Amino acid sequence: MAHDKARFAYDGLDRTIHEKARLGILTSLMAHPRGLAFNDLAGLCSLTNGNLSRHLLVLGEAGLVSVDKSYKNNRPHTQVLLTEAGRQRFLDYLSVLEQVLKDAEHAAGTADSAARLKPV
């Protein structure tokens, strides 16, 4: 059987973005162009403060998010934003993800048809 070499390698699935928790963080930030307070982001993604900090460090080092510390009503406030580069890389990632879904759903459909063709 001949196969397209590396047909299902999905090199574009950037591991920095693909990690489950980080995928949630980036989607949250994409939905909030003015950024999110650290605590709101933790709640939306169901992450502990420690876990969120750890993932923001990874995303920050990759230049995907910025973390701005300031004061709001005399209390420390941390605001997290998607950078423009982060937005672009996330959109690129999403187009690969869309291809994965298309491939898998096409495959599932094909497998269904094959099953239906089998004699009972």
38 sits near a copy of itself (criterion: CB under 8 A): no
The site map against a copy of itself for 58-97 (x = CB under 8 A) is -----------------------------x--xx--x--x
Show contacts with a copy of itself in window 6-35 (CB under 8 A). 6-11, 13, 15, 18, 20, 23-28, 30-33
User: How distant, in Å, are the alpha carbons of 24, 54, 76, 86 from that of 48?
Assistant: 13, 10, 18, 23
What's the closest the beta carbon of residue 1 comes to a copy of itself, in angstroms? 7
User: How distant, in Å, are the alpha carbons of 9, 26, 79, 82, 100 from that of 66?
Assistant: 31, 12, 8, 6, 29
Q: Which residues contact 52 (CB under 8 A, 6 or more apart)?
A: 25, 38, 41, 42, 45
120 sits near a copy of itself (criterion: CB under 8 A): no
Cα separation of 51 and 71, whole Å?
A: 23
Q: What amino acid is encoded at 36 in this protein?
A: L
Q: Which residues bind a copy of itself (CB under 8 A)?
A: 1, 3-11, 13, 15, 18, 20, 23-28, 30-33, 40, 43-47, 87, 90-91, 94, 97-98, 100-101, 103-108, 110-111, 114-115
